Amino acid sequence: MVGAGWAGLAAAVAAIRQGHKATVFEASHTLGGRARAINAKLPNGISAVLDNGQHILIGAYSETLRMLQTVGVDAELALLRLPLALVFPDGGGLQLPRWPAPLDAAWGILSARGWSLTDKASLIKTALRWQSDSFVCASTDSVADLCIGVSPRVMRELIAPLCVSALNTPAERASGQVFLRVLGDSLFGGAGSSNLLLPRVDLGRLFPEAAARWIEAHGGQVQLGQRIGQIQPDPARTAWHIGEQAFDAVILANSLPNITKVLSNIELLATQSVATDIRNWVRLAGALRFEAITTVYAWAQGATLQAPMLALRHDHPGDDGQMGLAPAQFVFDRGQLGGPAGLLAFVVSASHLDRSSLQAQVLQQAKDQLGLTLHPVQTVVEKRATFACTPGLRRPPIHIAPGLLACGDYCDGPYPATLEGAVRSGIEAAVALGDSANNTQS
């Protein structure tokens, strides 16, 4: 495995469970890839462990939850499980009870605060249509296309934030089919599927560190600080060489730019058929476009929220009565999630402004909507956080060439660029190892 993010580590765990030996190479000295822990210091001088992006999991993330259990993470302790809620600081919004699906969703809609009967009826009618269509739509439909007939308030307060948090792509250009898949799995996927799972520990402790320990305890290796720039195919096509080591198969699990660079080097040394496979894979990967996610960490003594997570409004008036820029969709109280008291994390999905502008606007948003004057701690911008999940998008497959595979949340699959998408991709690559390795040796 080249890359020790969530996909690469999941692939290594799954491969070992299938009887393979696994070595994981990671260029950095930190596990987790784009979902990792970072160190910071609060304005009061106290050290804090943050994440390079605030993540939400949901109860429908079945493969992630199974993977956590495999490597010895107690999900009930590491994750705070809450019924789905998109509640604003003023108390408006939707909150599901702890009832079986789909009764929880029905009651949540009927009891949503601030919504008129027309708002509620528009959502119920549309949701019933989605269900009758088995949560399937035309590949060319956007989320906005799916929601024709939904009231503007419901679109603004529920659909838009759900879409941008799940797909990191605005509703008007987000894939309707992928959105429906997530909704179907969560709202109609069985008990607890729609629950929010909020990490109580940093992302490094949540999975990557435990996975690395499990891999090494089961005979594998995790080598940090090992940047792999070249992989050489064996002339007899029976192995792949990384440095002095030979492997039956290689799974590339790092960022797309790095994978593309490695594949370009392999193409120069590969047979014509393998070179063609590589070019086809790179062509699909090169068509992906990316969206940024910004997380603004801010702190104030005694700052707290009425819930561990709140939704935020984009069109909230400021102190002067004017509608100001309000970029963050959600805010998390890290103090209620095992972190330092007074630390809040604001998430700006599909962000486009520069770091300083976003930070200033989020701090003003906190003052306008939360009544809090906060001090900035750290603003993390992941410029290539996710691919733009657009209608009809063709994503690169797991298979690149015989004995050469890829995994990552950007690979072909039913889910958007989420932790679940990464874990599923890693597991799929591991399952494919047997056939791929046999093909290589033949």
Q: Residues of 151-180 as b/e, b for ≥16 C-beta within 10 angstroms?
A: bebbbebbbbbbbbbbbbbbbeebbbbbbb
Pick from 76, 26, 111: which is nearest to 199 by CA? 76
The helix, strand and coil proportions of the chain, stated in percent and rounded to the nearest 5, come to 40, 20, 40
Res. 439: pLDDT tops 60: no
> What pLDDT is attached to residue 438?
40
Structural domain includes residue 28: yes
Record the tokens describing residue 235, joined without a space: 């002339």
Res. 220: pLDDT tops 70: yes
Please state, in angstroms and rounded to a whole number, the distance separating the CA atoms of residues 364 and 358.
Answer: 10
Q: Answer with the one of 124, 152, 185 that is the final residue of a domain.
A: 185
**236 falls in which pLDDT band (50, 70, 90)?**
low
Domain identity same for 251 and 400: yes
> What pLDDT is attached to residue 268?
87
Domain identity same for 274 and 411: yes
Domain identity same for 102 and 226: no
Please state, in angstroms and rounded to a whole number, the distance separating the CA atoms of residues 253 and 358.
Answer: 31
Res. 405: pLDDT tops 70: yes
**243 falls in which pLDDT band (50, 70, 90)?**
confident
Domain identity same for 144 and 284: no
Domain identity same for 212 and 261: yes
Domain identity same for 103 and 178: yes
Res. 441: pLDDT tops 50: no
> 111-125, 260-274, 367-381: which has the minimum mean pLDDT?
260-274
Structural domain includes residue 399: yes
Q: Residues of 397-436 as b/e, b for ≥16 C-beta within 10 angstroms?
A: bbbbbbbbbbbbbbbebebbbbbbbbbbbbbbbbebbeeb
Here the CATH number for the domain that contains residue 222 is 3.50.50.60
For 295-353, write each residue's pLDDT tens digit: 999 999 999 999 999 999 986 544 544 445 689 999 999 999 999 999 999 999 999 88
Q: Answer with the one of 185, 216, 235 that is the final residue of a domain.
A: 185
Domain identity same for 162 and 28: no
Record the tokens describing residue 199, joined without a space: 């990490």
Structural domain includes residue 73: no
What stretch of H or E contains 40?
strand 37-41
Task: Give the CA count within 13 Å in the CB-facing half-sphere of 336.
Answer: 18
Residues, the chain, total?
442
Q: Judge whether 318 and 364 are in contact, CB under 8 Å.
A: yes
Res. 80: pLDDT tops 60: yes
Structural domain includes residue 67: no
Pick from 433, 437, 431, 420: which is nearest to 185 by CA? 420
Structural domain includes residue 310: no
Sequence-distant (≥ 6) Cβ neighbours of residue 90 within 8 angstroms: 114
Q: Answer with the one of 130, 152, 185 that is the final residue of a domain.
A: 185
Domain identity same for 280 and 248: yes
> What pLDDT is attached to residue 191?
84
Record the tokens describing residue 441, joined without a space: 């040796």
Task: Give the CA count within 13 Å in the CB-facing half-sphere of 429.
Answer: 38
For 196-210, write each residue's pLDDT tens digit: 999 999 999 999 999
Structural domain includes residue 379: no
- DSSP class of residue 397 equals P
Record the tokens describing residue 110, joined without a space: 């009927």
Structural domain includes residue 371: no
Mean pLDDT of 281-306: 96
Domain identity same for 159 and 240: no
Res. 145: pLDDT tops 90: yes
Mean pLDDT of 355-377: 96
Q: In which domain, by residue range, is 110 found?
A: 93-166+174-185
**230 falls in which pLDDT band (50, 70, 90)?**
confident
* Total tally of structural domains belonging to the chain: 2
Q: Judge whether 146 and 130 are in contact, CB under 8 Å.
A: yes
**pLDDT averaged over the chain?**
92
Domain identity same for 272 and 130: no
Record the tokens describing residue 155, joined without a space: 């679109």
Structural domain includes residue 75: no
Please state, in angstroms and rounded to a whole number, the distance separating the CA atoms of residues 179 and 255.
Answer: 24
Mean pLDDT of 234-260: 88
Domain identity same for 268 and 123: no
Domain identity same for 181 and 212: no
Mean pLDDT of 28-33: 94
